[in-house]
Structure 1
Amino acid sequence: MEPLSREEVLTCVEAAVRAPSIHNTQPWLFLHEDDRIEVHADPSRRLPSVDPQGRALHLSLGAAVLNLCLGVAAAGRRPFLDLLPAAGDERHVATVTAEGPYAMDDEDRALYEAIPVRRTSRRPFLDAPVDPQALRRLEEAALLQGGELKFADEPERELLLSLVRTADERRKDDFAYRAELRTWTTDDPYREDGVPLEAMGPGSRDGAVPVRVFTPELERDVREFESEPVIAVLSAVGGDSPADWLRAGQALQRVLLEATRLGLATGLFTQPMEHADLRDLLADPAGRTHVQAILRFGHAAEGTSLTARRSAEDVIARGRPLPLRPTRLG
């Protein structure tokens, strides 16, 4: 196949790095060879306290993989995705090959155009209903990537939010956890990773919509959030392995891009996923699905700034990254 040009690679990787990642750690590296772009995990950006299994790391990488595939398609080439292609190298999580000429359809073109404006909000949403047809579109977006998005009724919503509160309460005196959050929280306007202080958002009055506290030592405003938040659970269909987490990350990103396209604001809760016993409370008795994230949807009451990203030049490897042996990321 015809090799990708340097300009095409940079454009594709620029799309990939706009993916969401756990605490904006951006745990990825890319390697270009001819018509292929490899995606590798960067273990120096793992969060051993917050994410000991590497599950959230793989979700982040899966989201970047979806953006990369959309970037290749936008370049006029058909993307072919191979997950975990290198036996014995769990750091090499995916290879996207740019095959023959390809005409992107309107749906995917709209998703690609949503990549640079998608953002996650920790702020209050308007107390206004979300169109049920939009919710169905979000469910369909998850299904297209092999995931399942299920919207919670009122009792389920209260259970989910209570699990988020419980997870936060457990971690409030966890030194290692707090140290990790401080490491990835920044007030440096020149830093290109981490979560900036202005993105933290206010606290929720009475904890109605629990928002993760990154900096408990800093006082923050307390505001009223929406009275009936729209909450959904995103699950992987099938197993609960690194490959399933990568697929769930693709489903998550497609849902987030579709929400952006529909003019909806999105929020993300991962705290209960960090505790095995809390995650078990959400388990499917039949074992058909495995919960990966809790999402919140609504109409933005105020704007949210984009968080910084490292440039494509900074995350394209100059040589092949060394494989990880024998330590497992998953």
Structure 2
Amino acid sequence: MTDGSSRIYGRTPGRRRRRGAKTRRRRRAARVVAWSAAVVVLLGGSGLGYVYVKLDGNLRGIDIDRILGRDRPADTAGGSQDILVLGSDSRSGANAEYGRDGGGARSDTAMIVHVYPGRKAASVVSVPRDTLIDRPACATGDGRTAPEQRGAMFNTAYEVGGAACAVKTVETMSGIRMDHYIEVDFTGFKKLVDQLGGVKVTTTRPIEDARSRLTLAPGTHVLDGEQALGLVRTRESVGDGSDLGRIQLQQGFVKALIEQVRSIGLVGSPKKLYGLADTATRAVTTDSRLDSVGALIGFADGLKDLDAAHVRMITLPVSYDPADPNRVLPIPSGTEQVWTALKQDKPIPASATKDSEGDGGDAHGTVKED
């Protein structure tokens, strides 16, 4: 113990050195946990691990490799990683307060995270849930197969076939194999933000949306979990009221979240560290290769040097469907540039999103980086 001075009572010099090593290990664990929190809401939620074996029991995994089999894009050998991150809009269980469950969960938020070799930079591609795509045939989980469907909404993939169908759909669209899958639900997201002590964002325009239960004046705010959930779900009071405006808000919030978890002081608070890890591991579902504390620690440790300044976030290049303004269509030339850049581990060129409806609008910059 100490009295606030440099003296340490009851410890030999050798034991003092061991204490220093223990502190360094704790500091490293804190960095890993903090980054893991950011990864998910990207990372829309969070995939956390900590040294307590008890946390293994919180994790839920899906064996996507077994379900999809060998009919998938080839693994790349360049050292990059691709992760599909979904926010589920299931209204069952604790999420029931956000509305009635209309026949099953759908992917409310979808982000494809490409981490470049070296793990110090990443590109994130948000896929609007109303994007019309050609959905492949998918196993439904009850022994049946949902047939392929042309012109289906992107988020119906999760509805008909769960995580595996969402992964298969993304791989079919992009030609890129997803190395990992992370899913977070509404309730877990709220609790995680509250555990972090809130997330600071600066809004440049007023936001008022009764459906998402959010009212914010322009300025800097520390959002609690309920407010943060409202921000990433709001759409009626930003831009043109479409999902594209909401995605821009989500992207701004993700960067704020990354900076928040990098700045919080967890080293001297094992209780706070454990509470954060417990909340996050209960909040997420992962692929079976990440469904253990050890696997998550290894995954997060490889991303600890990534910061918001080196994460580029775009929306999949899309245009409004002339037949239905509530739907969007991928722009073939733009999406091809996006997928080609990621396959080659290159930055996504600005030309890919130049003519996209998701590359601007009144919502862009509503939430700015501090």
Same fold flag (TM > 0.5): no
**TM-score normalized by structure 2?**
0.26
**TM-score normalized by structure 1?**
0.28
Computing the radius of gyration from Cα coordinates, the structure with the larger value is 2
